[in-house]
């Protein structure tokens, strides 16, 4: 009788939600004029996961203006300390950006690639599953500090992300390729953004839906 009661208590006990951390820049942070905290891709992803019966908490630690070298400095305290099962990593917009009057991006692509690899390595060492993501492509009216549309350069950094994903055997969510495909099909990417490159609520839904199957597959796997 006591054993049966104990078994019922164990079955009824709530399980701890799996933690999924979204690490990135202002695209990840998401909140801005026209986008509330519950409309970011992290919030939408959590809703989608719960609809599929996953007990998961998606924690958004995006910081506006951040590059990969800065992300490395806070990886232990802001990410690994939370003991997540999965960390979603998305950078590129700030690393590849040209400031006014500058002839080189803020972070050389070789350093960008090296930093991403280091982030993946540190997460794996902590027993955490990384997912790499390319950032979404911007609209036609997007300009950098020199008045040039940054999409071509962002495409180069996106290719570096694909390379790191392949080299480290990490899952990849390719927002850049998806947004480019939809643009070629006639979508005006400005309609998915607030300012030609920060996603609006519609853009965040598009991102979360693309992420869902990749995150769900990892959540369904037993821990290493």
Residue with tokens 């800065």: 70
Radius of gyration of the chain measured on its C-alpha atoms: 19
In a domain, 3, yes or no: no
Q: What CATH number does the domain containing 88 carry?
A: 3.40.50.1110
> 3-class DSSP state for residue 54?
coil
Chain segment 102-158, per-residue pLDDT in tens: 999 999 999 999 999 999 999 999 999 999 999 999 999 999 988 999 999 999 999
The confidence score (pLDDT) of residue 179 equals: 98
Run means of pLDDT, 10 residues per run, the chain, 224 residues:
40 65 98 96 98 97 98 98 98 96 95 98 98 97 91 97 98 98 97 96 98 97 75
Q: How many domains does the chain have?
A: 1
| Strand extents, DSSP E, 61-154 | 86-90, 129-134
In 3-state terms the chain splits into helix, strand, coil percentages (rounded to 5) of 50, 15, 35
User: Among the residues of 37-174, which ranges form H helices?
Assistant: 41-51, 68-73, 109-125, 151-168
CB contact set of 13 (below 8 Å; sequence gap of 6+): none
Cα 106 to Cα 22: distance, rounded to the nearest angstrom: 23
In a domain, 119, yes or no: yes
In a domain, 101, yes or no: no
CB 215 within 8 A of CB 49: yes
Cα 30 to Cα 165: distance, rounded to the nearest angstrom: 24
Cα 113 to Cα 21: distance, rounded to the nearest angstrom: 21
In a domain, 4, yes or no: no
The confidence score (pLDDT) of residue 6 equals: 35
Residue-number span of the structural domain to which 123 is assigned: 16-96+106-220
CB atoms within 10 A of CB 79: 24
The confidence score (pLDDT) of residue 222 equals: 81
Residues present in the chain in total? 224
In a domain, 200, yes or no: yes
CB 65 within 8 A of CB 26: yes
């Amino acid at each position: 009788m006591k054993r049966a009661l104990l078994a019922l208590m164990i079955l009824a006990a709530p399980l701890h939600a799996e933690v999924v951390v979204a690490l990135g820049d202002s695209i990840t942070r998401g909140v801005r004029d026209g986008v509330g905290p519950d409309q970011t891709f992290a919030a939408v992803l959590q809703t989608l996961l719960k609809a599929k019966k996953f007990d998961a908490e998606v924690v958004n630690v995006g910081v506006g203006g951040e590059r990969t070298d800065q992300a490395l400095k806070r990886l232990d305290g802001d990410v690994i300390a939370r003991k997540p099962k999965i960390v979603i990593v998305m950078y590129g917009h700030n690393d590849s950006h040209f400031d006014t009057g500058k002839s080189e991006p803020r972070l050389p692509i070789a350093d960008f690639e090296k930093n991403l690899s280091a982030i993946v390595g540190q997460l794996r060492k902590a027993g955490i599953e990384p997912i790499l993501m390319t950032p979404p492509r911007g609209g036609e009216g997007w300009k950098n500090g020199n008045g040039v549309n940054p999409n071509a350069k962002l495409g180069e950094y996106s290719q570096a992300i694909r390379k790191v994903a392949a080299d480290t055997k990490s899952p990849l969510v390719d927002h850049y390729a998806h947004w480019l495909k939809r643009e070629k099909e006639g979508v005006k990417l400005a309609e998915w953004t607030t300012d030609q490159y920060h996603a609006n609520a519609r853009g965040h839904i598009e991102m979360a839906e693309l992420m869902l199957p990749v995150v769900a597959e990892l959540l369904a796997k037993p821990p290493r």
